[in-house]
Amino acid sequence: MLKTLGAQIKEFKRDSILTPVFMIGEVIMETIIPLLMASIIDNGVTAGNMNHIYLIGALMVGTAVLSLAFGILGGQFGSRASTGFARNLRKAMYENIQTFSFSNIDKFSTSGLVTRLTTDVTNMQNAYQMILRMCMRAPASLICAMGMSFIISPRLASVYLVAVLLLAVVLGLIVTQATKHFTQAFPKYDALNESVQENVSAIRVVKAYVREEYEVEKFRKASGNLYKIFCKAESIVIWNNPVMNFTVYACILTISWLGAHMIVQDTLTTGQLMNMLTYCMNILMSLMMLSMIFVMITMSLASARRICEVLEEKADLGNPEDPVKEVRDGSITFDHVSFSYKKEASDPVLKDINLEIKSGETVGIIGGTGSAKSSLVNLVSRLYDVTEGKLSVGGVNVKDYDTESLRNQVAVVLQNNVLFSGTILENLRWGDRDATEEECRHACEMACADEFIQRMPKGYNTYIEQGGTNVSGGQKQRLCIARALLKKPKVLILDDSTSAVDTATDAKIRKAFAEVIPGTTKLIIAQRISSVEHADRIIVMNEGQVDGFGTHEELLENNEIYREVYEAQTSGSGDFDE
């Protein structure tokens, strides 16, 4: 874990080294000041030597200025190092998430990733700054003050030693008990973020079903759980101050009592007694800082582990040593392919699939809900890897391709259409960042999207809200199809991507595909047989297996499932789930 996190310090190593150096310098200056003060009292005020007072006073001013300068520099370098460390953590996590395959992403919840990128990184930033500054300052101050105390008066310094030992035991108990609660707190942020995320993203559904009170109650429960855990932790940490104050005042009283007797006996000077009282505060405040450091570090340990989980997660899908970077054509071959989302699953989602699709063919894929239609096409663009068998595109095993090159030639319009905030042109250029407006217009004409875009006030410069909330479901689907067409792919996969458009528009889109991109292999998942009956061939999926593969006429004659659904749909009802 330390190695993983330490690798993200990178260009802030110099700041991370200079911060503790300046903090130690500040401690040394603060340790010298009481010695100078004692010298003024004993050799200046008591002896009536004004020259000594002026000289030592000037030295005290210089020492105080140096202490201030060291403190400012330590704070500046520490802030730069900790904020830079946090920036690098966020960047490294975000970049690593971009490399994840679908199977990697399935291991983390969206809210969990958001918490790691925000709350957990902030905890690490605060902890790192405290480590650089206080972890050096507190022990150094404790050691210097204790050392000087024993030099001045071992008898009085033994009071500090007893106080330090007792205080260390008490603070150790406080930290141990508080840690148990803090480690439980941060995972609760996931539940809180999940509640907010679901409510905001699905606010229309919430209002449509009048579930505002239910959502408020769910958020209140998640927030309440977090509140209870932090209250328990803070109720333990709060003992820190009274215990510390009791120890400080007890030490001051004891030192004053014993010191007064020693002054009367001429074994201690007034200046030395003032020194001891000053060092008393230094020692006990150092202990207080150490206790807070332990609490902060303990709090951040849970965050550190969660961040490392993301940083150390390796993408399941990688490129071979010498990847193929050119997809020859759009032919697809499934050779005894089986697939499971989890390796340990006993029952595969896809079972022994054998298919051969020619380049340029239009192939329909139909089947009931849960028949693994989407799972089948997700393997083509290598969003997942096959568990058994071999899948080839353009005559080459998909595992031998450069992943980016393969996906650039296999365009997928997923079942859940996603548009990003920005103009229509900006969304379309996700397919081809260098596409001209004319090319975008041509793709939209093929997808029957140009007709509604032209009716918008700003045309192709119309702003799309996040998630495409200001366009209808059918318009969103057509924009996503146009975006995929701009890639000029060898294989085009439409995963139930025309379900929200009317039958006439669906027919226009299919006709445009046949006329404009005849060389592109088209895989069309649909629920309506009318959407695929004109395809060159149709795959009938049933419980993860290919139940039939042929033309519309062949399936009507030979496939019972297809025939029953066709008859039911042409009579006005029926689908593959019945």
Residues 358 and 263 in one domain: no
Statement: residue 578 has pLDDT above 60: no
Among 151, 154, 229, 221, CA closest to 184: 229
Together in a domain, 234 and 292:
yes
158 CB contacts (<8 Å, ≥6 apart)?
A: none
Judge whether 577 lies within some domain: no
Confidence of residue 199 (pLDDT cuts 50, 70, 90): confident
Give the domain CATH number at 459: 3.40.50.300
Map tokens 């989980």 to a residue.
309
Q: Does 31 share its domain with 172? A: yes
Residue 450 CB contacts under 8 Å (≥ 6 apart), including other chains: 441, 444
- Per-residue pLDDT of 24-49, as tens digits, reads 888 888 888 877 877 888 777 777 77
Indicate if 175 and 261 belong to the same structural domain.
yes
Residue 437 tokens, joined: 């407006």
Distance CA 92, CA 388 (A): 33
Domain membership of residue 322 (yes or no) is no
Same domain, 302 and 336: no
Residue 123 in any domain: the answer is yes
Residues 209 and 120 in one domain: yes
Closest C-alpha among 69, 68, 72 to residue 80: 72
Q: Report the C-alpha gap between 219 and 213 in whole angstroms.
A: 10
Summarised one tens digit per residue, pLDDT across range 6-30 is 888 888 989 999 998 998 888 888 8
497 close to 477: Cβ distance less than 8 angstroms: yes
Last residue of a domain, one of 312, 341, 369: 312
CB atoms within 10 A of CB 257: 11
Mean pLDDT of 315-327: 84
In-domain check, residue 576: no
pLDDT of 1 above 80? no
Q: Are residues 307 and 355 in the same domain?
A: no
pLDDT in tens, 84-104: 999 999 999 999 888 887 777
Q: Tell me how crowded residue 411 is: count the other CB atoms within 10 A of its CB.
A: 22
Last residue of a domain, one of 260, 282, 312: 312
Sequence-distant (6+) residues with CB within 8 A of 335 are: 354, 389, 390, 391, 392
Name all contacts of 462-467 with Cβ < 8 Å and 24+ positions apart.
462/423, 462/424, 463/421, 463/422, 463/423, 464/419, 464/420, 464/421, 464/422, 464/423, 464/424, 464/427, 465/421, 466/420, 466/421, 467/201, 467/418, 467/419
Q: Which pair of structure tokens corresponds to residue 373?
A: 């239609």
Residues 55 and 146 in one domain: yes
Residue 530 binned pLDDT confidence (cut-offs 50, 70, 90): confident
> At 172, which CATH number?
1.20.1560.10
CA of residue 525 relative to chain centroid, distance: 33
What does the DSSP assignment read for 150-192? HHH-HHHHHHHHHHHHHHHHHHHHHHHHHHHHHHHHHHHHHHH
Domain-located, residue 317: no
What's the average model confidence in pLDDT over 368-385? 86
pLDDT band at 518 (very low <50, low <70, confident <90, very high): confident
Residue 175 C-beta-side C-alpha neighbours within 13 Å: 19
State residue 422 phi and psi, 5-degree precision. 150, 180
* pLDDT tens figures, 431-487: 888 888 888 998 898 888 888 898 888 888 989 887 777 888 888 888 888 888 888
User: 543 lies in which domain range?
Assistant: 332-570
Q: Are residues 271 and 372 in the same domain?
A: no
**What mean pLDDT is reported for the chain?**
84
Is it the case that residue 187 has pLDDT exceeding 70? no
Return the H-helix or E-strand segment holding 547. Answer: strand 545-550
One domain, residues 250 and 369: no
H or E stretch at 515: helix 503-516
Same domain, 78 and 209: yes
Answer whether residue 146 is part of any domain.
yes
Helices (H), 40-118: 50-99, 102-105, 110-115
312, 342, 375 - which closes a domain: 312
Cα–Cα dist 116/280, whole Å:
41
Domain-embedded: residue 184: yes
| Residue 232, amino acid | K
Helices 240-264 & 270-312 angle (0-180, nearest 10): 150
pLDDT (0 to 100) of residue 77: 92
Answer with the residue of higher pLDDT: 200 or 454.
454
Q: Is residue 326 included in any domain, yes or no?
A: no
Q: What is the pLDDT of residue 574?
A: 55
Q: Same structural domain for residues 411 and 298?
A: no
**Residue of 209 and 332 predicted with greater confidence:** 332
Query: Which segment, 113-122, 308-317, 387-396, is predicted with the most confidence on average?
Result: 387-396
Total domains in the chain come to 2
